[in-house]
Structure 1
Amino acid sequence: MNLVLFGVLAYVLLQFAVGMYVSRRIRTETDYLIAGRSLGYGLGIFTIFATWFGAETTIGAAGAIYTDGLGGGTADPFGYAACLLVMGVVFAVPLWRRGLTTLADLFGQRFSPGVERLAVLLMIPTSLLWAAAQIRAFGQVLSAASGMQVTIMITAAAVIVIAYTAFGGMLADAWTDLVQGIALMIGLAVLFWVVLADVGLEPLRQIPAERLRVFGGPDTPLLATIEAWAVPLCGSVLAAELVQRVIATRSPQVARNSSLAAAGMYLLFGMIPVTLGLMGPALLPGLEHPEQLLPRIAERYLPGVLYVVFAGALVSAILSTVDSALLVASGLLSHNLVLPLRPQMTEQQKVRLARWGVATFGALAYVMALYAEGVYALVEEASSFGSAGIFVALVIGLFSRWGGAPSAAASLVAGVVSWVLGAYVLGLAYPYLVSLAAALAAYACAALLEGVRGRALGASELAPTTAQSPPARTGASGSAGAL
Structure 2
Amino acid sequence: MTDFVLSGNYAIGILIAFGIVWVAWGWYLGRNNRTIEDYALAGRNVGFAMATATAMATWITSNTTLVAPQLTYQFGVWGMLGYSMAALGLLLFAPLAERIKTLLPEGFTSGDFIYTRYGRFAWGAFIIISLCYALGWLVSLGMAGGLLLSSLSELDYMTGMTAILIICVGYTLLGGLKAVIATDFVQSVVIISGVVIVAWVCIDKVGFSTMHTTLTTQQPELLNLLFPAAVMFFFNNIFFGIGEIFHSNVWWSRAFAFGKGIGKKSYLAAGLLWLPIPIVTGFIALAASSLNLIPPSADMVGPMVAAKLLGSIGAVFIFIIVFSALASSMDSLLAATSDLLTQDIYKKLLRPNAGSDQLLRMNRYIVIGLGVGTWCVAAFKLATLGALLNFTGAFVASTIWPIVYGLFRPKLNGTWAGIAMVAGTSAGLIGYFVVGFYVAALLSCGVSLVCCRIGIWRSTEEYQWRELKEEEQS
Instruction: Classify 1:433/1:149 alpha carbon distance in 2 versus 1 (closer, same or farther; 3 Å).
Output: same
Cα distance in 1, alignment partners of residues 252 and 137 from structure 2: 15
Cα distance in 2, alignment partners of residues 453 and 130 from structure 1: 36
Cα distance in 2, alignment partners of residues 195 and 422 from structure 1: 37
Q: CA deviation at 1:50?
A: 0.6
Assess if the C-alpha contact under 8 Å between 1:5 and 1:146 holds in 2.
no
Q: CA deviation at 1:144?
A: 2.6
C-alpha distance after superposition, 1:415-468 (max 9, x if no partner): 2233233434787983433322332333344445542999xxxxxxxxxxxxxx
Query: In the alignment, which residue of structure 2 is the partner of 1:477?
Result: none
Instruction: Classify 1:300/1:375 alpha carbon distance in 2 versus 1 (closer, same or farther; 3 Å).
Output: same
Give secondary structure in 1 for the equivalent of 2:276. helix
Give secondary structure in 2 for the equivalent of 1:25. coil
Assess if the C-alpha contact under 8 Å between 1:116 and 1:336 holds in 2.
no
Give secondary structure in 2 for the equivalent of 1:308. helix
The structure 2 residue matched to 1:368, chosen from 377, 384, 396, is 377
Which is further off, 362-371 or 349-358?
A: 362-371
* TM-score between both structures, scaled by the size of structure 2: 0.86
Which amino acid is 1:440 matched to? L
Cα distance in 2, alignment partners of residues 212 and 62 from structure 1: 15
Query: In the alignment, which residue of structure 2 is the partner of 1:325?
Result: 333
Instruction: Classify 1:66/1:447 alpha carbon distance in 2 versus 1 (closer, same or farther; 3 Å).
Output: closer
Query: In the alignment, which residue of structure 2 is the partner of 1:474?
Result: none
Assess if the C-alpha contact under 8 Å between 1:8 and 1:311 holds in 2.
no
Give the RMSD, CA atoms, in angstroms: 2.7
Assess if the C-alpha contact under 8 Å between 1:126 and 1:385 holds in 2.
no
C-alpha distance after superposition, 1:44-83 (max 9, x if no partner): 111001100000110111122123312334542x221122
* TM-score between both structures, scaled by the size of structure 1: 0.84
Give secondary structure in 2 for the equivalent of 1:430. helix
Where structure 2 has 5 or more consecutive residues not aligned to the other structure, the ranges are 1-7, 464-474
Cα distance in 2, alignment partners of residues 49 and 428 from structure 1: 26
Query: In the alignment, which residue of structure 2 is the partner of 1:176?
Result: 183
Give secondary structure in 2 for the equivalent of 1:287. coil
Query: In the alignment, which residue of structure 1 is the partner of 2:404?
Result: 395
C-alpha distance after superposition, 1:326-371 (max 9, x if no partner): 2222111110121123233221221111111122222222233233
The structure 1 residue matched to 2:343, chosen from 335, 344, 349, is 335
Equivalences, count: 448
Cα distance in 2, alignment partners of residues 292 and 426 from structure 1: 25
Assess if the C-alpha contact under 8 Å between 1:244 and 1:328 holds in 2.
yes
Matched, 1:123 2:120: no
The structure 2 residue matched to 1:163, chosen from 155, 158, 170, is 170
Give secondary structure in 2 for the equivalent of 1:7. helix
Cα distance in 2, alignment partners of residues 199 and 63 from structure 1: 19
Assess if the C-alpha contact under 8 Å between 1:4 and 1:304 holds in 2.
no
Which amino acid is 2:449 matched to? L
Query: In the alignment, which residue of structure 2 is the partner of 1:357?
Result: 366
Assess if the C-alpha contact under 8 Å between 1:284 and 1:297 holds in 2.
no
Name which one, 1 or 2, has greater alpha-carbon Rg.
1
Query: In the alignment, which residue of structure 1 is the partner of 2:256?
Result: 247
Which amino acid is 1:378 matched to? L
Identical-residue share of aligned pairs (%):
23
Instruction: Classify 1:235/1:304 alpha carbon distance in 2 versus 1 (closer, same or farther; 3 Å).
Output: closer
Query: In the alignment, which residue of structure 2 is the partner of 1:271?
Result: 279
Which is further off, 108-117 or 46-55?
A: 108-117
Assess if the C-alpha contact under 8 Å between 1:138 and 1:318 holds in 2.
yes
The structure 2 residue matched to 1:311, chosen from 311, 314, 319, is 319
Give secondary structure in 1 for the equivalent of 2:295. coil
Assess if the C-alpha contact under 8 Å between 1:4 and 1:307 holds in 2.
no
Assess if the C-alpha contact under 8 Å between 1:120 and 1:333 holds in 2.
no
Q: How does 1:212-291 map to 2 (within 5 A)?
A: 212-213=223-224, 216-217=225-226, 225-252=234-261, 254-291=262-299
Cα distance in 2, alignment partners of residues 11 and 381 from structure 1: 31
The structure 2 residue matched to 1:381, chosen from 376, 391, 410, is 391
C-alpha distance after superposition, 1:78-112 (max 9, x if no partner): 22112212222x32211222323111111123222
Q: CA deviation at 1:250?
A: 0.6
Which amino acid is 1:93 matched to? E
Instruction: Classify 1:236/1:26 alpha carbon distance in 2 versus 1 (closer, same or farther; 3 Å).
Output: same
Q: CA deviation at 1:259?
A: 1.1
The structure 2 residue matched to 1:211, chosen from 208, 222, 229, is 222
Instruction: Classify 1:97/1:203 alpha carbon distance in 2 versus 1 (closer, same or farther; 3 Å).
Output: farther
Matched, 1:345 2:354: yes
C-alpha distance after superposition, 1:185-229 (max 9, x if no partner): 22222322333333344434434364245xx41656976653343
The structure 1 residue matched to 2:99, chosen from 94, 97, 111, is 94
Instruction: Classify 1:342/1:417 alpha carbon distance in 2 versus 1 (closer, same or farther; 3 Å).
Output: same
Which amino acid is 1:96 matched to? K
Q: CA deviation at 1:235?
A: 4.4
